[in-house]
């Protein structure tokens, strides 16, 4: 499999975002799950990078998982009587199931490109989606790529230039020969500012399967 000819020539490396590109996500499901636990006035926007909240700090690796649960209880005292397991389950509600055809594509692309993963994520979500991959698909999800980069481990988040510069250095990639695929316009813009080629995927209208032939 190779990129469709509508993409620029000279691409040797593809860096994929995770949520919204490889795995479908729905933040509203997590908001509703916390509402069911009694939390009031939590919005999807508050949980995302760019919010300036402890949710963003969690994606940057500023907290351990236990510290994150404590931050949640401080944000919503209604959760004081809820267990860590209940908080984890609600937090994970946004994560969809793996699509086998997309995984097959990622495996085939390694024959033609260097492929990497670059995801804003956190310890709790990473534990869950790696486990679910093993259960639903089999094997180690990280092995689909030459290397998987996670924001909380890099201590930097998209769309900061810092994270793109770190990945370029650690992976030894040539930005001008690298295509970054993400569903977030700000992340795509930041990648371009760092000299990468970039494409914004529109979930619901297309998938990564539509970009290759």
Each residue's pLDDT expressed in tens, for the chain with a length of 213 residues: 999 999 999 999 999 999 999 999 999 999 999 999 999 888 888 888 878 899 999 999 999 999 999 999 999 999 999 999 999 999 999 999 999 999 999 999 999 999 999 999 999 999 999 999 999 999 999 999 999 999 999 999 999 999 999 999 999 999 999 999 999 999 999 999 999 999 999 999 999 999 999
Please give the pLDDT value at position 14. Answer: 98
For the chain, what's the residue count? Answer: 213
Global pTM reads 0.95
CA distance 207 to 21: 7
DSSP state of 8: P
Residue 118 sits at φ, ψ, to 5 deg, of -135, 110
Please give the pLDDT value at position 52. Answer: 87
Report the 10 Å Cβ neighbour count for 44: 14
Q: What number of helices (H) and strands (E) belong to the chain?
A: 9, 5
Please give the pLDDT value at position 43. Answer: 87
Please give the pLDDT value at position 66. Answer: 95
Please give the pLDDT value at position 46. Answer: 87
Opening angle at CA 59, ends 65 and 86, nearest 5:
40
The crossing angle, in degrees rounded to 10, of helices 84-91 and 123-136 is 70
CA distance 207 to 193: 24
Please give the pLDDT value at position 11. Answer: 98
Please give the pLDDT value at position 48. Answer: 85
Under DSSP, is residue 191 helix (H, G, I), strand (E, B) or coil? Answer: helix
Residue with tokens 């593809």: 14
**Mean confidence (pLDDT) of the chain:** 96
Tens-digit pLDDT profile for residues 37-68: 999 888 888 888 878 899 999 999 999 999 99
Please give the pLDDT value at position 45. Answer: 84
Which domains does the chain possess? 13-24+98-211 (3.40.50.1000), 27-94 (1.10.150)
Report the 10 Å Cβ neighbour count for 87: 22
Contact at 8 Å (CB) between 198 and 158?
no
CA distance 141 to 148: 9
CA distance 13 to 112: 9
Please give the pLDDT value at position 44. Answer: 86
Q: Which helix (H) or strand (E) holds 13?
A: strand 13-16
């Amino acid at each position: 499999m190779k990129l469709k000819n509508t993409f620029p020539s000279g691409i040797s490396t593809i860096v994929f975002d995770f949520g919204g590109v490889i795995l479908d996500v729905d933040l509203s499901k997590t908001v509703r799950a916390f509402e069911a636990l009694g939390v009031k006035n939590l919005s999807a926007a508050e949980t995302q990078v760019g919010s300036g909240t402890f949710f963003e700090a969690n994606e940057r690796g500023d907290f351990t998982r236990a510290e994150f649960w404590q931050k949640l209880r401080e944000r919503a005292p209604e959760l004081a009587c809820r267990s860590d397991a209940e908080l984890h389950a609600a937090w994970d509600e946004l994560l969809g199931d793996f699509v086998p055809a997309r995984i097959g594509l990622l495996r085939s692309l390694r024959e033609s490109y260097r492929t990497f993963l670059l995801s804003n994520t956190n310890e709790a979500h990473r534990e869950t989606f790696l486990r679910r991959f093993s259960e639903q698909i089999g094997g180690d999800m990280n092995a689909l790529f030459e290397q998987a980069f996670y924001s909380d481990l890099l201590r930097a988040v998209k769309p900061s230039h810092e994270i793109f510069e770190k990945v370029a250095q650690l992976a030894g990639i040539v930005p001008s020969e690298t295509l970054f695929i993400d569903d977030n316009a700000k992340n795509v813009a930041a990648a371009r500012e760092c000299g990468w080629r970039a494409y914004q995927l529109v979930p619901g209208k297309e998938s990564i399967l539509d970009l290759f032939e």
